[in-house]
Structure 1
């Protein structure tokens, strides 16, 4: 497993290990002299991203000053940023792996603290955690800071600063959308090469409108990916492709979702992590299957 996709089966365990973020949350939520009644973001929000990165995120702002959730990150090709590695695995042991240039993309669980500034705006940060390898377990982390106004029950617009550059996060309260689980097919186009793929979506209970992806293409498979559907008509997918049992590439794509036809045309990248990954662009058109042999 490479930097760009986190194994879903380890997600819950990794989030629990972010104890430092919980301490910071208590500090931020206890700031004196700030009224929290008029613009509280408490609840789960559905975000779409634009700017240096695109994608979909579901973030829960808790009353204890913590924020947690998940996101699928798709770097914008024009961003030109190659990322930064801020240090090894969560345990900070001697198995740390250093990458000179790594683009963070794919699915990431996130956690951190939030609070208010003197103007009543929501402020905070969260850590993105991505598994770089399973043996030994090593991880890649990035930090994202954010600030912006919240209108309870209506909208929240956060200006975020990521290692890839500035990002605007447009949020609305999360709602449960119609279930889109089942059998799908996709047509991947990269360069002059096209490939037909089949995959299934299965609901993931911890996050709204989030699905586990298991699929196969000619000569490769993706056994443990993630898809996220936003009520803002965006669909995103992130997964690792493997050949036999060996990692080959990470794909991260996002695009408009058409509810009437249960289809989406997404763009993004399909590449191993590294300095050239932002140039490995891909188009992925997906449609839910109406019949299965």
Structure 2
């Protein structure tokens, strides 16, 4: 009889326990974006149902930021809306997704396009600080470059400065930002004061860097649409 009562109590309490264990996105997540834009973002969900984010993408021309509100039901269905500042413009969007203890994913519908996202809880990322050398291949040009990368107060975000040497026009200055992701992923936006161009060349790059072996390989595009590849050494 006591065993039957105990079993019945367990069945009654099970839904309450399941409800108490409803998934929550509270905390910081590393999120990869795809679709109308591609990039890395760090998204922080707060207990008060607000969330903020910052990241670097192919179209951000630096760091983009956003803030919004979120909700999640007992099945882990995530919804929200936000306002984002990207490349000097404000855009709005809505999110529809799913959250578990180890993953957040879903779709974004925004005034600047449709996106998909997938993220995992924030992890420590490698330290990119230091002096790096690179060979940038831009069309038929091979440009030796040197970069000084320094950590900023924002986690995972680095300031990049340096110079390159053009075989046709001497030295040119480089300035930009790098955002480190897990597993060696890196996103970079840089401006290069090319001596042959009237306006700076805006470059977006993505790839992988291994700070331990001091090597990296990046690929991206100039603002003109021209492909650029960069091999790195430290």
Normalization by structure 1: what TM-score?
Answer: 0.62
**Alpha-carbon distance between aligned partners in 1 of 2:211 and 2:229, rounded to the nearest angstrom:** 19
8 A Cα contact 2:143 2:164, kept in partner: yes
**Alpha-carbon distance between aligned partners in 2 of 1:242 and 1:127, rounded to the nearest angstrom:** 32
Deviations 1:52-92 (A, max 9, x none): 32221111112222222321112xxxxxxxxxxxxxxxxxx
Aligned in 2, Cα 1:164/1:109: closer, same or farther, shift over 3 Å?
Answer: closer
Residues 197-276 of structure 1: pairs in structure 2 closer than 5 A: 197-206=145-154, 208-218=155-165, 219-223=171-175, 225-242=176-193, 247-258=199-210, 260-271=212-223
**Residue number in structure 1 paired with 2:119:** 171
Cα deviation for residue 130 of structure 1 reads: 4.2
Cα deviation for residue 210 of structure 1 reads: 1.6
8 A Cα contact 2:68 2:82, kept in partner: yes
Higher strand share: 2
Q: Which runs of 5+ in 1 are unaligned?
A: 1-34, 75-103, 132-138, 272-276
**Alpha-carbon distance between aligned partners in 1 of 2:118 and 2:184, rounded to the nearest angstrom:** 12
C-alpha RMSD over aligned residues: 2.6
Residue 79 of structure 2, aligned match among 106, 123, 129: 123
Aligned in 2, Cα 1:161/1:195: closer, same or farther, shift over 3 Å?
Answer: farther
Aligned in 2, Cα 1:264/1:164: closer, same or farther, shift over 3 Å?
Answer: farther
**Residue number in structure 2 paired with 1:280:** 226
Aligned in 2, Cα 1:149/1:205: closer, same or farther, shift over 3 Å?
Answer: same
**Residue number in structure 2 paired with 1:91:** none
Larger radius of gyration: 2
8 A Cα contact 2:128 2:211, kept in partner: no
Aligned residue pairs, count: 208
Aligned in 2, Cα 1:252/1:173: closer, same or farther, shift over 3 Å?
Answer: same
* Higher relative contact order, structure no. (Cα contacts within 8 Å, ≥ 6 residues apart): 1
Matched, 1:189 2:137: yes
Cα deviation for residue 197 of structure 1 reads: 1.0
Aligned in 2, Cα 1:142/1:241: closer, same or farther, shift over 3 Å?
Answer: farther
Aligned in 2, Cα 1:177/1:60: closer, same or farther, shift over 3 Å?
Answer: same
Q: Which runs of 5+ in 2 are unaligned?
A: 1-18, 166-170
**Alpha-carbon distance between aligned partners in 2 of 1:106 and 1:177, rounded to the nearest angstrom:** 22
Aligned in 2, Cα 1:264/1:110: closer, same or farther, shift over 3 Å?
Answer: same
Cα deviation for residue 163 of structure 1 reads: 5.2
**Residue number in structure 2 paired with 1:66:** 50
Cα deviation for residue 144 of structure 1 reads: 4.0
**Residue number in structure 2 paired with 1:107:** 62
Secondary structure at the residue paired with 2:201?
Answer: strand
Matched, 1:146 2:95: yes
Matched, 1:51 2:44: no
**Alpha-carbon distance between aligned partners in 2 of 1:284 and 1:255, rounded to the nearest angstrom:** 9
